[in-house]
Amino acid sequence: MNDKSLRDLRTETPQSPPKIVFPCDYSLKIVGDASPDFQAVVVETIKVHAPAFDENAMSAVDSRNGRFQSLRVTITATGNDQLQALFASLKATGRVHMVL
């Protein structure tokens, strides 16, 4: 690489993150303590914010020692406000540790 190409790399402006165009399919990974009713609590919470959510498309994976469970879901997101409210509701259950 020559000096000019290094200088060009230093002066590049950072790109803004891509914007989400709503409505769209939006995937989530929800992690919480494994328990018999964890999935039911998550499904109930999601359906408040995304009534068309198909719980049959949800997949669950237990951690190696069985203490945690991660759920992968896809919802139809209608806007940023919906997603923020959903994230807040999931955390408010006290059962969800992380939403990705």
Could you read off the pLDDT of 48-100 as tens digits, one per residue?
999 999 999 999 999 999 999 999 999 999 999 999 999 999 999 999 999 99
Fold of the domain spanning 19-99: Alpha-Beta Plaits (3.30.70)
* CB 90, CB 42: distance < 8 Å: yes
pTM of the model: 0.79
Domain ranges of the chain: 19-99
Indicate whether 6 pLDDT > 80. no
Indicate whether 46 pLDDT > 90. yes
Indicate whether 18 pLDDT > 80. no
| Three-class DSSP category at 41 | helix
The neighbour count for residue 4, using CB atoms within 10 Å, is 8
Q: What is the pLDDT of residue 2?
A: 54
Q: What is the pLDDT of residue 11?
A: 56
Q: How confident is the model at residue 33 (pLDDT cuts 50, 70, 90)?
A: very high
Q: What is the pLDDT of residue 20?
A: 85
Q: Reply yes or no: is the peptide bond before residue 23 cis, omega within 30 of 0.
A: yes
